[in-house]
Amino acid sequence: MSGAVPVRSWGAARTDGAPVATGPMIDCENLVKIYKTRDFEVLALQGLDLTVERGEMMAIIGNSGSGKSTLLNLLGGLDRPSAGRLLVDGHDLLAIDDAARAEYKRRTVGFVWQNNARNLIPYLTAQQNVEAPLILDGRRDGRARARELLARVGLSDRRNHHLHQLSGGEQQRVAIAIALANGPGLLLADEPTGSVDKHSAGVIHDLFRELNRELGVTVVIVTHDRQLSRRVERVVAIRDGRTSSEFRMTHGYAEELARLAALGASDASSGAAAAGPSPVESHEELVVLDRTGRLQLPREYLEALGVQGRGMMRAELEEGRIVLKPREPEADGAGGVDGVEVQFVENGKP
Ligand code: ADP
Ligand code: MG
């Protein structure tokens, strides 16, 4: 497959697995992933667009089966896209060859799963778990590096505990230490707090935040946890294999978090923020319009009007607005209220 990548001002895409330091961390357009089995095909991603800047920390939410893990697996180089464009750290993941992809997986991304059994060995200690991949990778400083990584995730005093002596949250922190071992620029986490208690979830989330701020690592977290997602500046919702809407933290709430952080209340997470604004107040929801003009209307709006998911609607241009109305048998002009109204404004200012 050839990389039909437009030449960009920051240079051409790389296919050799070496790191590049400019452009967005993730640049994904019209991404398609089809799973083919003998009997059927599943269209898991159907033209997904997503850009994530370097140094950003963002969350992805969406119902089960919406394509979140598929996206993360593609970003992590664990699976290949079927079509579209996917550049991560300048690497073209559609054009990349197997050797470069292996190198990419080792150097560019770190992966944390919900189920840490996937990358931890139960009969080894925390130290040995972190050390093993480093030594296999031929690093002579494996022991010291593992110690440093465990300190980084706050587990110095648990270093010599066997995995089964650690709590689920602590095990997850060991997994994060491993994901950081090769100093990746991008950390991907697929529901990392899905099997830990609420307190541990807060600790893990704060850790991602710290790593993001202090190491500058870009963080993408798939989460079901509304509490966690509302403390992230940008949350992207995926529906049926496409980005449907984005939640951006409103100014007031972002400032409040910064103020709490400055006060040293680093775990604004657990206590203070729990009593803070509701999700509705902390973020505003923006519908994503893709390059071909497609958008997904919020399901609640359609339901409120009794509009079915498929069919035709009447689109009318009215004084700087696009108004969508259910297509119904011609009523006698008593409309106006029953429409979904889409207002286009310039630069976010009416
Ligand atoms: P999510 O993580 O949002 O729950 P997934 O990315 O796991 O969603 O799945 C998206 C869709 O792709 C689902 O319909 C799922 O059944 C399907 N799918 C995921 N992985 C595979 C696979 N390896 N083979 C076939 N279908 C798959
Ligand atoms: Mg999943």
Segment 305-338, tens digit of pLDDT = 777 767 778 888 888 888 888 776 655 544 444 5
Spatial contact of 247 and 280, defined as CB atoms under 8 Å apart: no
Beta bridge partners of 316: 323
> Given a cut of 50, is residue 277 above it in pLDDT?
no
pLDDT of residue 325: 80
Q: Residue 138: which region, alpha, beta or left (left: phi > 0; alpha: psi -120 to 50)?
A: left
* Distance in angstroms (rounded) separating the CA atoms of residues 256 and 277: 10
pLDDT of residue 350: 44
CA 64 to chain centre: 15
Q: Is the CB of 70 under 6 A from ligand 1?
A: yes
- Ligand 2 geometric centre to CA of 42 (Å): 15
> Given a cut of 90, is residue 44 above it in pLDDT?
yes
CB-based burial, 104-138: b 16+ in 10 Å, e otherwise: bbbbbbbbbbbebeeebeeeebbbbbbbbbbeeee
Which of 35, 37, 191, 222 to mutate to test ligand 1, by most ligand atoms within 8 A of the CB atom?
A: 35
**Closest residue CA from atom 15 of ligand 1:** 65
Cβ neighbours for 128, distance < 8 A, ≥ 6 positions apart: 121
Q: Is the CB of 177 under 6 A from ligand 1?
A: no
Q: Which domains does the chain have, with CATH numbers?
A: 53-77+98-287 (3.40.50.300), 299-343 (no CATH)
> Given a cut of 90, is residue 139 above it in pLDDT?
no
* Distance in angstroms (rounded) separating the CA atoms of residues 350 and 347: 8
> Given a cut of 70, is residue 227 above it in pLDDT?
yes
pLDDT of residue 119: 76
> Given a cut of 70, is residue 274 above it in pLDDT?
no
Percent of the chain with pLDDT over 90: 52
> Given a cut of 90, is residue 269 above it in pLDDT?
no
What H or E segment, with its residue span, contains residue 207?
helix 198-215
Spatial contact of 246 and 235, defined as CB atoms under 8 Å apart: yes
Q: Averaging pLDDT over each range in 133-142, 153-162, 245-254, 338-347, which range is the top one?
A: 153-162
pLDDT of residue 330: 54
Q: Is the CB of 65 under 6 A from ligand 1?
A: yes
pLDDT of residue 276: 44
Q: Is the CB of 62 under 6 A from ligand 1?
A: yes
Token pair, residue 40, equals 């059927």
Q: Measured between alpha carbons, how far apart are the two ends of the chain, in Å?
A: 44
> Given a cut of 80, is residue 23 above it in pLDDT?
yes
- Ligand 1 geometric centre to CA of 101 (Å): 22
- For the residues 40-46, what does the mean pLDDT come to? 95
pLDDT of residue 14: 54
**Closest residue CA from atom 20 of ligand 1:** 70
- For the residues 68-95, what does the mean pLDDT come to? 96
- The rounded mean pLDDT for the chain is 82
pLDDT tens profile 112-130: 988 776 778 889 999 999 9
